[in-house]
Each structure stands twice: as C-alpha cells, then as structure tokens.
Structure 1
C-alpha cells in the first residue's frame, strides 16, 4: 500500500497538476483560435504535374562544409535556395551543445563548392536585438521568399533549458550577409516559451509559406505556422493529437492533402505519421510507420513522379544510436523501402539531423557528421520508365 504524501508534497503535486491542466486548456483554446484563422492561408505549394516513371539517384559528390576556427562541435543544418542554382546553409557551432560560445554560422554553395563560413548570430547579438538575455542558441531554419529575402528562425532561450525556448525571426535582404531582427514568434500560451523549430518550411501558392514548429514542455506536439507573402504570421494549427511527437517534416501531396512525418519521443521509436485533408487546417493521426527511428529529426520531400523520399536514422535490432542515416522511398507515404545508407558507422557514431533541398534535377543533403561538422552529399535525380 502506498504511503500518503506529506501535506506540503501533496499541495505541490496538486499545484503542478492544476498548472498543467491550465496549460493544456489554454493551449487547446489557442490552437482552435489559430486553426480557424489558418484556413484562409491553407493552400499548399504549387505542385508540378506528376511525371510517370521510376526514380534513380546518382551520387555526384560529397564534402564537408568549411567550419569556423576553434569550433569542435556542430549540429542542426538548414538549407535555403538562392537565385542561379545557389544555396546557403545555416548551422550552429561552438565548443558543445548549449555552450556559451555557440553561434549560428552560414556558408554559400556556388560553382560546385561551399565558401568560407561567416557568423550570423550569437548570444550577444540576439540578446541585444531582442532586449533580453539569451542563454542558449539552438536550431536554425531558413526560407527564401519570392522577393529573395531570407527569413531565418533561430531557437533561443533566456533562463532555463530548451523547454524555456523562444523562436527569433530575422530577415536578410543581402543573401544572408546581414540580418535584422523582426520579432519573437507568437506561438505559445506559456509566456510564449517552450517552442522550437527544426525542419524545412513549405511554400504556398500566394507567396507565403508554412513553418513547421513544435511545443515541448512535459508533453510534446507538432504544429505549423502560416506566413503571408509579407512575412507576417497568419495562423497556427496543431498537427494531430499525440503528445509525444515533435519536429514535423511537412510535404504537400495535392491542393488539399498534406502529409507530416514526425520524430517520436515515446518507447515505440517509430516515425510517426499524420495527414491533413483540408490544406493543413486540421489533422488526423495515422498509424506509425514501420520505419524505426532513434528519436531524432527526419527530412522528407516529394519527387516529380509522386514518390516520397525520407532521410531517417535506421536502427538494427540491438542498435539504439544515430549511426546509420538511411534514405528510403515510398509511393503512398506509409510503406517505405530502403534506397541507400547515406552514412553508416559503428556504436557511438552519429550521422543525424538531416535536411534535403531539391535544386533543378539535383538533390542536396546535409546532416550532422559526428557532432563535429556538417556533411553535404549531392545527387542527380533521374525519372524514366527504363530506369
């Protein structure tokens, strides 16, 4: 028989439960309010006509993105396109995750190679722009709008850990050379904290975009925030009802159907799956995929022939690491087959947090390499009946 809690402990327990109930109630009301407003901006990206045929990927090159000096740790890369088949990548680097010297850096892809990195944001620069102290810097995500401006979203915390994080929204009009602070994104009823970003944004027909986001404080759940062509937020919708999923990778399938695949923080360790039938305004949870995934971020996109590509951390029967980064292919989004292992190592190795960007008929992949650098692989995409 369990002993009753002491009066003070019982009171604390009741207080915690009451606070959690309030947070969930406020979150539900906030999600409903934002979801209604999201319907007006729920048209997914312009989808090209499906080209029948099988897909083939041919690796063209692999390299390491140049690192800034004296930064032994690097993680969480993001890609954004630039005019002329160019790209820019962002990532954080420093002595260690959450270290006081962590900064966001960038490098540009031009003429088949990556240029020297430059500093984009630090604790001091973000704190000065935001007007409050920044203790930690985390994941960056980038999107280039129709006017060529780069919108950079960076996770930043004040007091506390990642559960106290906010998302800073910065904008560059000179291809990432410099950024101006625009706002802290309004996403959470908990003093606008406990929200983070990780995965690629998705373009909308009207020139706006969707930014995948997620809430993480005790429970975890994914969301998408809609932006208009002017870069102003227009809505927020929760993805599904699960409370152990995060870091959604969002892919439009048609004008109204959208899929999302998520990292799983439960004991299932499977890629979780959700679907919207009304252009992202509301979502239903689907059964998890048969793909295992060691509680880490995934990346996904749709090819011209209608197939889906996903990068995820495959695990063997006795494996519980991020040592295998696998590329898998699917026709329906539910059943997947392996295409190739982009990176594979032994116990203790890490190849994780992938991102993908298609530029013309080329697929670009970046990912964290051993927490020491950012790796880049480039593939040619071919589609044809005889492949």
Structure 2
C-alpha cells in the first residue's frame, strides 16, 4: 500500500512539475483595457512641516478573534464601512481554519471592529465547488470599476500549499453574502499549485487583472485577465524569474503598471521590480531593487502621484540601530518609490513592531477618507488595523525628496 501511495505522489509531483514548464499564454481572445485609476480625493493639509515622530499614525486597534491563530488579512472599503477578511483556526493549515469577516463603520467616531463571523469553511467550499477541500488559505478582496466586490480564496485538497487551487466568488451589494463562481483553471494538467495574495488591478471596462504565483518547483509570477463579467480570458507569465511569489501590481497611470515580488530564496534575498505598458500587454526587463526580502509578503500602494511599499524590514530597520539581530517580520515599515524606472525605495517610517518571536506581517491596505488603512497579522494571534494619515505621508516624502535634492546640489 505504501508503494502505491508513493507512486501516486510521484506521479502527482511529475504532473505538477510538467505544468510549471507550460507557458501561460494560451489565449483564445484578449481584451486589453485601460487601468482604472481610483479617484481618491486627498484633502491637502494646512500645515507645511511633516511630523517625524510617527504621528502619521491616526489609529491602531486589534480585531477581535476567538480562534487560537489568525493570518493573511484582506481589506476593502464600501458604503462608509471597511470590511476585513482573514483566516483563523487552531493554526495555519489546520482543518478547522475558516475565512472570517469583520466590519468597521467609518462614519462613527470611536467605532470598533465587529465580532468576526465565519464567511467560508472547507465544508462549504467542498459543497459549492464539487471538489473535496480540506483546508483554506489566503483570501483577497477588491472592488472593480463598477463598485462590485470580488473575492478569491485559496483551497487545498491534497498535501500542502504547493497543491493549492484558487476559487472565485463575488459579494452581494451589502457584503453580507458571497456567491460562488468557479474554480480557476490555470493549467491543463491537475490545475495544482497556484496561490493568490494581493488585490487585483481594476480595469476601466469593469474587468480586472489578477496577480498570482505558481508555487511548485520554480515558483514564478503570473497574471490572469478577466472581462467585465468576471470571466477569465487569459493567463500570462510576466517574466522568467524563479523563487518569486505573491506579485503586487499597481497602475502608475492608465497605460503603465509596476510590479514587485516576494522572494522565496534563502541564498538570494534580492528583490525585483518590473514595469509594464500597453495595458499590461508589454512587460519590461526586470530591475534589481535596493530592497531585501526574507520570504515575507509585500504590498505596493498608489498614493496620489507617489508609490509606497509596505514591507517587513526587521533585519535592516534603522530603528534597531546596533541592537541584537531581529527577525525580519518583527517590523513592518513604509517606503516610497524614489525611482520608478529602477525600483529604488527609500525608508519613510515604521508602522509597527513585534517582540522577539512575534511578527507583524502580511499587509493589506485600502485608501479611504484621507487615511491609508492597513491590516496585518499580529503575532499570529489576531489581525491588527493601523490607519495612517495620507497627508503626513505625502508631506514627509516631499520633504525627503527636497533634502535629497539639496544634498545632490551640495555635492556638486
């Protein structure tokens, strides 16, 4: 019996490896649409001096969680309320893990996050998909250009995350219910080993571009293009990198985009930055960024004309100075994109830190009412919400750019 199981496992692994070599550009018909640029109104601040003492943090709070563990949050804003999703259970990958949902009323001062309710269980997904699902993973949530809220979630039937699949849902208008759409078919053999982590890039026509990664062997980033009805039109490998996961893609303007990746390589912790044009039809060469990544989730966010990066930097965070060595996920920080061609980032400030053995990781973010709302894993026990003042961030970036220019002029 053991020999049979080993042979079966070998065959599954061989099929998955074969799939990793198949190009994801088999296109029946393509529709490239301009990127949807969210018109987030940012009211200019009245003061001219940025605060350098982390006062750009407007609020911080912990979401309630009755489970032993919580991880991988996602956040969206709709109708004056924030909705956060995350998975929680006894531990990551346990059979009892569920996708939970919590709300925050942004119209009410001192509003608190609602008690999380189970939105999706493995049993529910098994029934909806017609495929046995033993555990749930990352949820992502986002709004398209027509104000519809979409949900994608990772599910596993066999083995670990490397054999996962991605499932598609959409929300009712009041965000109270989810409606199952389909399992994404991302390759012809087995359809294994795909994960999603970051929100999709909305298109003007109501469609969107979903960034995801292939997790077996080479581990490489891809995109899937969806039409205005939520139908997947094509998948596309956007570079030839290996050991690059969980791509984060944002629009720089209606035609151009930028992408950044999580590195999954213990021997090479370099990070890579990439840009696109022609509505993601053309992808430029990879640039090696100045950032390091030790296998931690990252997120790009567009703030007006600026691009910021939310990332773990515990091993290099300047607040530690010459202190004892820290774990990389012990600090979560904000950087701005100084060079949009070469992918060079500059440290702005630290959002949060954790004690030894803890972590502040897996950021998700949304812009709403002059605030950058960020949710993230807090010590694997719950989800933490931090709201940053967008004006304070932009003012600090402007001040840092001026200082940099003065230093350049002074050096001539």
Tell me the SS of whatever aligns to 2:361. Answer: strand
Report what 1:45 is aligned to. 36
CA distance in 1, matches of 2:12, 2:166: 26
Report deviation, 1:47: 6.2
Report deviation, 1:321: 3.3
5+ residue gaps, structure 2: 1-9, 317-324, 400-412
Structure 1 pair 272–130 and aligned structure 2 pair: CA distance change class (3 A): same
Report what 1:105 is aligned to. 100
Tell me the SS of whatever aligns to 1:113. Answer: coil
**Contact 1:241–1:285 (CA<8 Å) still a contact in 2?**
no
Report what 1:58 is aligned to. 56
**Contact 2:33–2:204 (CA<8 Å) still a contact in 1?**
no
Report what 1:10 is aligned to. none
Q: TM-score, normalised by structure 1?
A: 0.86
Tell me the SS of whatever aligns to 1:160. Answer: coil
Tell me the SS of whatever aligns to 2:270. Answer: coil
5+ residue gaps, structure 1: 1-13
Q: RMSD across aligned C-alpha pairs, in angstroms?
A: 3.0
Residue 323 of structure 1 pairs with residue 330 of structure 2: yes
CA distance in 1, matches of 2:359, 2:34: 37
Tell me the SS of whatever aligns to 2:125. Answer: helix
CA distance in 2, matches of 1:229, 1:289: 34
Residues 138-189 of structure 1 show CA distances to partners (whole Å, capped at 9, x for unaligned) of 0000123355442211100112211111111112214332212110012223
Report deviation, 1:368: 0.3
Residue 32 of structure 1 pairs with residue 28 of structure 2: no
Q: How many residues align?
A: 367
Q: TM-score, normalised by structure 2?
A: 0.81
**Contact 2:40–2:368 (CA<8 Å) still a contact in 1?**
no
Residue 335 of structure 1 pairs with residue 344 of structure 2: yes
Task: Please give the residue correspondences for 1:189-268 in structure 2 after superposition, counting only pairs within 5 Å.
Answer: 189-266=188-265, 267-268=267-268
Q: Which one is further off, 73-82 or 175-184?
A: 175-184
Report deviation, 1:46: 2.6
Q: Which one is further off, 268-277 or 293-302?
A: 268-277
Report what 2:407 is aligned to. none
**Contact 2:16–2:189 (CA<8 Å) still a contact in 1?**
no
